[in-house]
Chain A
Amino acid sequence: MKRFVLAVAVAALAAGVAHADTIKVGVVGPFSGPFALQGKNFKAGIDAFFALNGKKVGDHDIEVVYRDVPTANPAQSKSLAQELIVREKVQYLAGFYFTPDAMAATPLLQQGNVPMVVMNAATSAIVTSSPYVVRTSFTTWQTASPIAKVAKDAGVAKAITLVSDYGPGVDAETAFKTAFEKEGGSVVESIRMPLSTNDFAPMMQRVKDSGAQALFVFLPSGPPTLAFVKAYNENGLKAAGIKFLATGDLTQESDLPALGEAGLGLTTTFHYAVSHDSPENKAFVAAAEKAIGNPAELSFPAVGAFDGMYVISKMIEATNGKQDAKNAVEAVKGLSWTSPRGPVSIDPDSRHITQNIYLREVAKDAGGKYYNKEIQTFEKQGDPGLAALKK
């Protein structure tokens, strides 16, 4: 009985929305607190999409409803997602900077008949938790694996990993280790550092003592990045020729001015650099910089959000504004387009984005601005993390 009532309610809801000419998209992200910058980038990416493509798909207006989850807080994320679906009657859920926040909301999708477009959260497993999840960002495995090859090519045989002791950090550690060992290298030590670490000098001593030729590091964005890079330089690791390897989270554009000279020459692999040279990206960056206000704050979550909106617009097009999660997701499987980051496509099996991963080096342009200079491209990278997950 209860089920029946519910089905009727959902059907009524869906029918009601089909006629409405405004389609709501609920975006959950960190808009305040220590990760506010990343949330701001979500908004900039979405606004840039509207600036370039307009707020209409066919006859349907798109309206975005933002909800703030300042730090990883699955319970709050879930109740906000629930509120977005039930009260705001959103047809699409999007955003999600942190993995637990995304994971918490996935059980709602089927019942709410709502697809979710993950614009950042980078743990491989999210797409497996519901068939209605599509991801337009990246996974830690996807960005961390190529750097292992880079290291090996540069002649590194022994590496040490240093990661923050939390889910994504452990993910990055495993990804790098797997890829590096596959290349024939060996990881001599794996250090997990508490998230609250402020002073990295003792770890640098550990790196020196380990005899590794390179270090691979993964940290949450923000203050630790700065302290870590400084410690790397000041404790003589740079001078000793120990190579610095990381994913692009560490050298995101918004942190580069703070890193300054200390960041020069750092090599990272990532799916997007603001400096990427293509007409699509030029248009995107111009719009996004305008949206964010301060151009120095623009970094990778914006492109995830921008492409996320593109995917949502395609879903709306395919379903003609009707609330139909299944067909919406079905419609974007295998979708391929040219994103500001380069050519991308949605893998029909995993619903995760296949994209180029770039090796970049921090450089300084003529105007004294620091940027990530792309020096090598790894084309059409899938998510090796999913394969590892299935094993």
Chain B
Amino acid sequence: MDFFFNLFSDPVGFWNSHTLLISQIGINGIIATSMFLVLYSGQLSLAAPGFMAVGAYTSVLMELYWHTPFAVNIAAGTLLAALGGLLVGLPVLRLRGVFLAIATIGFIEALRLGVILNVPITGEGLGLKHAADPLGGVPIILVSLVVTVFLVWRLTKGRLGSAWSAIRQDEIAALSQGINVAQYKMIAFVFSALLAGYGGALEAHLTFIVAPGDEQYGVTRAVQILTFAVLGGSGFVLGPLAGALIVTLLPYIFLQAGPYINVFSGIFLIAVIVFRPQGIVGRGGLAIVRPAWWPRARARAPSPG
């Protein structure tokens, strides 16, 4: 495990020689935070990869065709993703639990297989080659991550946040407190789309090509992102972050397993979830995304008499 040995023996050297890994962790952290937003408001949405794609392709296309500055491209990608969030959210947000999850899967795959692979301007299967700065990205990404996490954490503290956690806990009761459930769900959904778009746009500049791979913008990625949140625990903003860290490091944690790495990763996943269903960070963790239709018989609530 000289990977972790270096981490402590030679931190500086480690940092300099793992900037890409660190950047990736940062990106995944941002995406995980976007996932946290939807889960925190009680929505099991897997749409993140779709919005990442929007952010990535938008920023790269602007760079290729209009040669606009980096910052502008990123901003545009981010905003367009947010707009996408609004458009997708309108029809699907009345869905709950697994149904919302599946609908969003439909969205991301329709976008990837249906649109990206068939619109010439996206380079289809070839992807888009573009200028990137893999090693220089770290500072921007890490700063973004810190800012994102801080802002989201602040949001959860404010009026928005209290409304969200009310909705997450019990939509019916939330309504009785005069909370406009639909509106606040939408706000969370759009924010999370915005973050996903931002993360996607940044990620696109870690490599010299954006390509519509499944592990990039498809179900595989969606599942990975969900794993961040569920593994880490979605009760507190740092949960998904921890999840992202662990999942991104799995290939290094189980380095010794050689070719059997995924066998171990899988077992690890099962073990964590079975022994800590609410996730690694925070109490209550997973219970917050229990869908309303989950039968009472299995989720026994205190009801004397």
Partners in one complex: no
Residues on B close to A: CB < 8 A? none
